[in-house]
Amino acid sequence: METQLTGPWRIAPDVVLVPVIEPAAAGYAHVNSMVITGREPVIVDTGAAEHRERWTEDVFSVVEPRDVRWIFLSHDDPDHAGNLEVALEMCPDATLVTGSPPRPGRGFVPPPGRTRRIADDESFDAGDRRLTAVRPPLYDAPATRGLYDDRSGVYWAADCFGAGTPVATADAGDLPMEDYLEAVRAFGAGLSPWHRWLDPRIFGRHVDRLAAMEIIAIASAHGPTATGDRVARVIGAVRGLAGRSDPG
Ligand SMILES: [Fe+2]
Ligand SMILES: [Fe+2]
């Protein structure tokens, strides 16, 4: 199978996607993270523990651990928080920003004095940019927050906009448009089964919020990154999921 874009990829001047793409039952599965390399560098999600060696190598080829000021955790699932402790240890000046409360038995203990809770729609200042927590329309943990960077226009969608890919690539532009959109629909339908019960008008408001933002790229933990005209098209694909399946 042809291998395409699989290493750290600068998707905007100060934003680097850190992909981990592995063969799956059908095609390839993604467990991605991201680094914002601005004045106050931010690690966005920390991947899975099983990828620790590669993850630390790739992330810290992009940013020096001592320079990292923020670690944004979209939610505390192990494929996002898997290297959180290591990252906090390696980056002594980083503050953890997350909407996820500590949950007993999850192994996720926000370090005292180094954690800032963030509500949906709340922003924080990262030196040369304002980062805003924007909950994606589809998620598998209610405390999930995506992250919008107003300077680059990149939106980190956490689990939303995931998609299995027939080739190992981090760039949705390598896939035919319709194949990509259908893969996003299929992933989203499995991710948030409750989308079936949602009133399309209510669900639509969450999608409208994204559609109204100036987004140049949507990066997902579990799929290739959408840029260019794929941004609006993939938001439209997710919008179409509301009410698509029968309740029950
Ligand atoms: Fe998740
Ligand atoms: Fe995930």
pLDDT digits over 18-54, tens only?
999 999 988 999 999 999 999 999 999 999 999 999 9
Give 73-104 pLDDT, tens digit per residue: 999 999 999 999 999 999 999 999 999 877 76
Ligand 2 centre from 201 Cα, in Å?
Answer: 26
Cα(158) to centroid(ligand 2), Å: 7
- pLDDT greater than 90 at residue 135: yes
Residue given tokens 């180094």 in the structure block = 114
Strands 21-23 and 28-30: antiparallel
pLDDT over 70 at 156, yes or no:
yes
CB of 11 closer than 8 Å to CB of 172? no
Nearest ligand, CA of residue 48?
2
Q: What is the reported pLDDT for 108?
A: 67
| Ligand in nearest proximity to the CA of 77 | 1
What distance in angstroms lies between residue 140's CA and the mean position of ligand 1's atoms?
Answer: 5
Residue 132, classed as helix, strand or coil, is strand
Smallest-distance ligand from the CA of 220: 2
**C-alpha–C-alpha distance, residues 155 and 74, integer Å:** 12
* Ligand whose nearest atom lies closest to the CA of 45: 2
Alpha helices in 34-77 (DSSP H): 52-62
| CA angle (216, 225, 206) in 5-degree steps | 65
> Beta-carbon neighbour count of residue 12 at 10 Å?
18
Residue-wise DSSP of 164-190: -BSSB-SBGGGS-HHHHHHHHHHHHHH
Q: What is the pTM of this model?
A: 0.94
> Rounded to the nearest whole angstrom, what is the distance from the C-alpha of residue 233 to the centroid of ligand 1?
23
Work out the mean pLDDT of the chain and round it to a whole number.
Answer: 91
pLDDT score for 221 = 98
Strand partners, 223: 220
Domain with residues 9-104+113-239, CATH architecture: 4-Layer Sandwich (3.60)
Q: How far is the CA of 173 from the centre of ligand 1 (A)?
A: 24
What is the model's pLDDT at position 3?
46
Q: What's the CA-to-centroid distance between 222 and ligand 2, angstroms?
A: 7
Q: How far is the CA of 230 from the centre of ligand 1 (A)?
A: 23
Residue type, 154: V
